[in-house]
Each structure stands twice: as structure tokens, then as C-alpha cells.
């Protein structure tokens, strides 16, 4: 029984970190280049360590790329056989509203935010001036 306890404490976090790093290496390319103040940058780096958030059929990961000041909200369906039944133009206004509501102050300071629907599409980057 103690072996299982050690396995859960030592190995499970490594598995989760592996999932996060595989998402980072497969992020869609972006030309966005921003800069945020140092204090905000440190706070945003903490998002990379945040646990994934689960909803009914998907998980949400936050990945911050410090060199670009770009935050990608990764929406991943739980099954690789599932696909998003929507397109970019249908959800653009809702995604923009949510993004500005959650990250508007940071966006005004130079952060770029996009949402990637894995096995679907990536939204345009929302940046300073877009949330007005």
C-alpha cells in the first residue's frame, strides 16, 4: 500500500507535467510579439504550473510563452476521436468577450491571448486595444 502512495506522490505529477510539455511543443505558430512588465510576467509564468481545469467533455490548459508575452488557452476534448462542431467565426465574439473579461487588464499591459481548440482551430490573438 505504501508503494502506491509513493507512486501517486512522485510519478503522477510527472505524468501531468508530461502532458503539459507535449502541449507546449505542439502549440500553433504565432507572429505575436509583446512585452509585459516584470511583475506581471512573474504572475503569468505561474499559469504554466496551474492544474488543468476540467469541464464535461474537455480540459483547459493555460500556457504562457514568456519570450512572446503570449498566453494560449488550450481547450482539448477528452477523446481524440471527438471534434469541435463549430468554426472560428461562430465563436469569435464569445471568445473575445470571455478573454477580455478574464485577462483585460493584462492585455492592456502588453499580453496577447489566443484560444486553441485542439483538433479544430486557433483564434486570432487578442491584444492591447481589442478589449475596448
Rounded to two decimals, the pTM is 0.80
**Residue reference for cell 483538433:** 119
Sheet order of strands, 70-77 included:
53-54, 58-65, 70-77, 112-117, 121-122
Confidence of residue 17 (pLDDT cuts 50, 70, 90): very low
Cα 128–chain centre separation: 18
Cell (9 digits) for 74: 488550450
Whole-number average pLDDT of the chain:
84
Average of pLDDT values for 53-80?
92
Amino acid at each position: 500500500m505504501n508503494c502506491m502512495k509513493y507512486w501517486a506522490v512522485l510519478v503522477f505529477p510527472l505524468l501531468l507535467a508530461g502532458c503539459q510539455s507535449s502541449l507546449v511543443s505542439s502549440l500553433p505558430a504565432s507572429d505575436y510579439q509583446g512585452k509585459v512588465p516584470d511583475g506581471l510576467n512573474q504572475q503569468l509564468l505561474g499559469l504554466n504550473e496551474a492544474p488543468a481545469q476540467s469541464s464535461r467533455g474537455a480540459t483547459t490548459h493555460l500556457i504562457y510563452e514568456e519570450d512572446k508575452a503570449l498566453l494560449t488557452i488550450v481547450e482539448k476534448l477528452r477523446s481524440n476521436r471527438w471534434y469541435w462542431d463549430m468554426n472560428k467565426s461562430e465563436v469569435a465574439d464569445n471568445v473575445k468577450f470571455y478573454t477580455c473579461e478574464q485577462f483585460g487588464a493584462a492585455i492592456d499591459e502588453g499580453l496577447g491571448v489566443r484560444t486553441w481548440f485542439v483538433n479544430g482551430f486557433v483564434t486570432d490573438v487578442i491584444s492591447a486595444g481589442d478589449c475596448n
